[in-house]
Structure 1
Amino acid sequence: MSAESPESASPVSSTPILQGKRVLISGASRGIGRGIALEMASVGAEVTINYHSNEGEAEDVVRECEAMGTTAHAVGADISDETKVQELVDQACERMGGLDIVVSNAAYSDRHLMLESDLDEFRRTIDVSMWGAFHLVRCGARKMVDAGNGGNIVVISSPHAHMPMPGAMAYNMAKAANDQMARTAAVELASHRIRVNIIHPGWIDTPGERKFFQEETLQTEGAKLPWGRLGQIREIGRGAVFLCDPKSEYITGSTLTIDGGIQLPWREMYRVEEARREPVGS
C-alpha cells in the first residue's frame, strides 16, 4: 500500500506557487531583500518593497517585479521606529488588500572591536537589526491573526547568531536575538496557522559587503570557500519561496542554512586531500 498522502499524489499544478499571495519585505531595495522580492514576484506574489533611504533603487525593484507580470509597491520607513513600522504594515495592507507573508530582512551593522565601539553605532545596529525585526514580526503577525487566514513569516538572520565574529558584537547579539525571537514566535503563532522560519545566509555578494571589504578581497576570499564562490541574492530568495510554499506547511520554527558550506570546518579541508593520499590500511 502506498504511503503517499493525497497531496503528494495530486497532479502538478501550473499555477505559480505563490499566486495571489501578498508579501511585505523590509530592506528590499538592494541586496538580499531585492533578491527575495524578485523571487517572490517570479512565482506570482504581489510585493511591497520597504526601503529606508534608497527610494530610486526601490522603484527599480518595483519595475523589475512588474516586468514579471505581478504588482509591486515601494514604501519608505525606518524599520527601527515602531510607529513607522506600524504605518508601513498598515500601508502595505491597504495597497495589497491584506498580508500573507512577511520577510524581516532589514539590517544594519557597524564593525568595531568591543573596546573601540562607538555606542551610537552600536545602538543603531541593535535598533535596526534586533528591534526592527521584532517590530515587523509583531505588527505583521497581528494583521495575520486578525485576518484569520494563517500566514508565513521569514526572518533573515545570520550565522553570526552562533558564531562570535570579532568586531561585530552588536550584530552578533542582534542576530542571536532574532533566532530566539523567531522560534518563540513560531510556538506562539502555531495555533493561528502562522508559520515562522529563519534563513541563515552565508557570505553573499551584496552591496553591503562593499562597506567592509574591497572587491578584490571578496573575489579572492570567496573563491576559498567550500563551494568556491560567494552566494547570490536570488539563491536566498529561492529559499524564502521554499519556506512560504504551501507544500512546505509542516515546516515551522526551523532554520534554513544557505551558505555554500561556510559553516563547515572548511579551513580544515586540506585534511580531506591528505586522507585521499593515504594508502588504504595504513
Structure 2
Amino acid sequence: MTELSGKRAIVSGASLGIGRGIAVELARAGATVAVNYRSNPDQADEVVAECKSVGGDAFKVQADVSVQEEAEAMMRTSIETLGGLDIVVSNAAYSDRHLMLESDMLEFRKTIDVSMWGAFYVVRSGAAEMVKAGKGGNIVVISSPHAHLAMPGAMAYNMAKAANDQMARTAACELAQHRIRCNIIHPGWINTPGERKFFSEETLKTESAKLPMKRLGEPKEIGRGVVFLCREESEYITGSTLTIDGGIQLPWRDMFRVEETAATAKPMQDNE
C-alpha cells in the first residue's frame, strides 16, 4: 500500500502492543514513522526494523510523554528528523487495576499522568507544530470503551479515557479551521503484552473464545484503522470515533434469548 506515501508520522508508546501495530501499518502504507519509546530501546529497534521490512521508514525517539518537557522535546526532535509532520498518533497509556478503596495512589496518579496528561501533551505539541506549518494534518487518539463503560477496578483508566475522548472532540472543533482532523479509535480486547499483566494465557484463550468474533483483536487491525482515518479519502471525517472491537460492546450475551426462543417456540400457524 502507498496510501500514505511521503507522510510523516509520530506514534507515542510505539515500542510494543497496539503502538507497534500502528507504527508498522503506517510504514506499510508508505509513511515515515517516529517510534516513541520510554524505557526499552531494544524493543524500539525491533519496531524500526519491522517498519523498514514492510517498505516504510522509521527511527526511534525516547521520551516519557507524561512529562510535558519530554513530550514537547520529542515532538521537536522528531520533526527535525522527519522534515515536517503530517500524522500524530497518541497511543501511550498505562493502567493499574484496583478497586477504588484499595487504590495505590502512586499507581492511580501514574495512570492519569500517562494516559490522560501524556495524551494531552502529545496532541497539544503536535497540533502546535501542524498549525505553525500551515499544511493541515491528522491526529488520532487511541482511547478505549473504558471512556463510557464504568469497568470496576479500573477507575483511573476509565477517567483518563473519558478525558481522552472529550479532549479529541474538542481538539477536532478547535483545529478544523487549520485543516487538522482529530479522530478517536476505541479498540476492543487486543492481543498485546499489556493484557498479560492482568490475565493468564489460559484465561485469554478461554475467554476470548466466548467473544462474538471468537478471538482477541490484533494490533495490526488497530493500525489499519489509523491508516483509514489518515488517508486523503477520509478527509471529511473529524471528531469521530472508530470502534474496532470485534463486537465486544454489542449485547452478545443476550443471544441466549433468541436461541432459547428458537429452540422452544412452536411454529406459528398462518391464521394465528
How high is the TM-score relative to the length of structure 2?
A: 0.97
Is residue 99 of structure 2 the alignment partner of residue 125 of structure 1? no
Instruction: Name the structure 2 match of 1:177.
Output: 163
CA drift of 1:162 comes to 0.4
Identity of aligned residues (%): 69
Distance 1:281 1:193 in 2: 58
Task: Name the SS of the counterpart of 1:98 in structure 2.
Answer: coil
Distance 1:150 1:276 in 2: 54
CA contact (8 A) 2:146 2:161 kept: yes
Q: Indicate the RMSD between aligned Cα atoms, in angstroms.
A: 1.0
CA drift of 1:280 comes to 4.1
Instruction: Name the structure 1 match of 2:216.
Output: 230
Instruction: Name the structure 2 match of 1:194.
Output: 180
Letter aligned with residue 256 of structure 1: L
Instruction: Name the structure 1 match of 2:131.
Output: 145
Question: Which runs of at least 4 in structure 1 moved beyond 6 Å after TM superposition?
Answer: none
Match of 1:165 among 148, 151, 156: 151
CA contact (8 A) 2:169 2:240 kept: yes
Task: Name the SS of the counterpart of 2:5 in structure 1.
Answer: coil
Task: Name the SS of the counterpart of 1:200 in structure 2.
Answer: strand
Q: Comparing 185-194 with 260-269, which one deviates more in the overlay?
A: 260-269
CA drift of 1:68 comes to 2.1
Is residue 243 of structure 2 the alignment partner of residue 281 of structure 1? no
Instruction: Name the structure 1 match of 2:254.
Output: 268
Give per-residue Cα distances to partners, 1:224-246, cap 9 Å, x unaligned: 01111100110000001000011
Task: Name the SS of the counterpart of 2:71 in structure 1.
Answer: helix
Distance 1:162 1:32 in 2: 20
Is residue 35 of structure 2 the alignment partner of residue 44 of structure 1? no
CA drift of 1:66 comes to 1.0
**Structure 2: 5+ residue stretches without partners:** none
Instruction: Name the structure 1 match of 2:189.
Output: 203
Is residue 91 of structure 2 the alignment partner of residue 105 of structure 1? yes
Letter aligned with residue 273 of structure 1: E
CA drift of 1:70 comes to 2.1
Distance 2:15 2:232 in 1: 26
Task: Name the SS of the counterpart of 2:9 in structure 1.
Answer: strand
Is residue 17 of structure 2 the alignment partner of residue 31 of structure 1? yes
Distance 1:197 1:170 in 2: 22
Distance 1:202 1:94 in 2: 35
**Structure 1: 5+ residue stretches without partners:** 1-14
CA contact (8 A) 2:183 2:241 kept: yes
- Decide whether aligned partners of structure 1 residues 45 and 279 sit closer, same or farther in structure 2, where only a CA change above 3 A counts: farther
How high is the TM-score relative to the length of structure 1?
A: 0.93
Provide the aligned length of Structure 1 versus Structure 2: 268
Is residue 245 of structure 2 the alignment partner of residue 259 of structure 1? yes
CA contact (8 A) 2:29 2:56 kept: no
CA drift of 1:279 comes to 3.6
Distance 1:108 1:243 in 2: 24
Task: Name the SS of the counterpart of 2:88 in structure 1.
Answer: strand
Letter aligned with residue 57 of structure 2: T
Instruction: Name the structure 1 match of 2:199.
Output: 213
Distance 1:161 1:25 in 2: 21
Distance 1:151 1:196 in 2: 9
Give per-residue Cα distances to partners, 1:160-180, cap 9 Å, x unaligned: 000000000000000000000
Distance 1:280 1:173 in 2: 49
CA drift of 1:53 comes to 1.1
Task: Name the SS of the counterpart of 1:269 in structure 2.
Answer: helix
CA drift of 1:206 comes to 0.2
Instruction: Name the structure 2 match of 1:83.
Output: 69
CA drift of 1:51 comes to 0.5
